[in-house]
């Protein structure tokens, strides 16, 4: 069975590489405008990432699953912004090369559009959140649930559709047994066994703000790429929108740090009381 799985993975990988290369060449040679090429590139990159997740993790959403086998909100927003921006840049590069008959490549000027400062800051927020999130979780001092609490959590997960065999309630942080068991609801629920049944408001806020900001910027990109003239820079984000994104990222990280800090203090106090008694 293991040999068949390896052969199947190799076939998936070879098919994905050949298919992506052929699709990229077709998009490059497509005489249509940058807008349609951008849509093609978006679909191609999403499909490629889904195939990578399927090959490596056994599920199409595997690239969004972290080491606890749950869906990661920080991975989602980092990938979403990267895909949105990089595909738009590539579509503009294709149009510049086609319009200039490759002269911009020879002169090394005018091919790649400029990225506004606000966009660099936004990508920095996404990267910082992606890096800081697992570090804050690794310092969690949450206690492992006792038998009564574990039964309550198990019953709550069963009401949400989880089978008993899918539940992993050992340790302070909630885990799934395999990437296949990761669910989209992981993006907005708590990460500890003590709160995995409840909505996490800072996570919900960051998820909502991320989706709204992505939609707004996608509309801006659509309007710019639909123009027939050459584009020297991607559209800028408003300072207000950038501030909202920064606040949501900061609130998400501060909430995660404070939850771990409060739980750690409670565990230490409980241990001190038991030792003194």
Q: Is residue 233 part of a domain?
A: yes
Q: pLDDT digits over 43-96, tens only?
A: 888 988 888 888 888 889 999 998 888 899 889 988 999 999 999 888 888 877
Tokens of 189: 């629920």
Q: Is residue 115 part of a domain?
A: yes
pLDDT reading at 241 higher than 80: yes
8 A C-beta contact, residue 44 and residue 36: no
8 A C-beta contact, residue 200 and residue 189: yes
Q: Is residue 264 part of a domain?
A: yes
pLDDT reading at 171 higher than 80: no
8 A C-beta contact, residue 190 and residue 140: no
Domain around 180: 2-272
Q: Is residue 96 part of a domain?
A: yes
Number of domains in the chain: 1
Q: Is residue 195 part of a domain?
A: yes
Q: Is residue 28 part of a domain?
A: yes
On the 0-12 / 13-18 / 19+ scale of CB atoms within 10 A, 65 is buried
| Average pLDDT of span 259-276 | 47
Rounded CA separation 154/162 (Å): 9
Q: pLDDT digits over 105-161, tens only?
A: 555 556 778 888 888 888 888 888 888 877 777 655 454 554 555 555 566 665 555
pLDDT reading at 237 higher than 80: yes
Residue 227 CA, chain-centre distance (Å), reads: 30
For the chain, what is the mean pLDDT? 75
Q: Is residue 220 part of a domain?
A: yes
Q: Is 114 left (phi over 0), alpha (psi -120 to 50) or beta?
A: beta
Query: What percent of the chain lies above the pLDDT cut of 90?
Result: 7
Specify the pLDDT at position 151: 56
Specify the pLDDT at position 15: 76
| Angle (nearest 5°) at CA 25 between 23 and 27 | 70
8 A C-beta contact, residue 65 and residue 59: yes
């Amino acid at each position: 069975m293991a040999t068949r799985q390896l052969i199947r993975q190799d076939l998936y990988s070879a098919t994905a590489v050949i298919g992506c290369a052929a699709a990229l060449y077709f998009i490059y040679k497509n005489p249509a405008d940058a807008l349609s090429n951008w849509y093609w590139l978006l679909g191609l990159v999403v499909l490629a990432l889904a195939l990578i997740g399927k090959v490596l993790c056994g599920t199409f959403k595997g690239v969004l699953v972290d080491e606890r086998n749950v869906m990661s909100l920080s991975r989602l927003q980092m990938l979403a912004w990267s895909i949105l921006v990089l595909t738009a840049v590539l579509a503009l590069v294709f149009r510049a090369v086609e319009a200039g008959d490759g002269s911009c490549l020879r002169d090394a000027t005018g091919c790649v559009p400029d990225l506004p400062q606000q966009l660099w800051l936004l990508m920095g927020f996404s990267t910082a959140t992606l890096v800081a999130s697992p570090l804050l979780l690794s310092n969690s001092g949450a206690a492992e649930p006792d038998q009564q609490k574990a039964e309550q959590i198990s019953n709550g997960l069963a009401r949400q559709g989880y089978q008993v065999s899918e539940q992993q309630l050992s340790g302070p942080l909630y885990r799934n047994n395999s990437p296949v068991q990761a669910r989209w609801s992981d993006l907005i629920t708590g990460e500890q066994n003590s709160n995995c049944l409840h909505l996490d408001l800072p996570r919900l806020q960051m998820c909502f703000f991320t989706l709204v900001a992505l939609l707004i910027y996608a509309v801006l990109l659509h309007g710019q790429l639909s123009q027939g003239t050459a584009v020297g820079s991607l559209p800028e984000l408003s300072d207000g929108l950038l501030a909202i994104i920064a606040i949501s990222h900061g609130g998400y990280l501060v909430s995660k740090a404070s939850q771990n800090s409060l739980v750690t203090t409670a565990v230490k106090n409980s241990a001190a009381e038991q030792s003194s008694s």
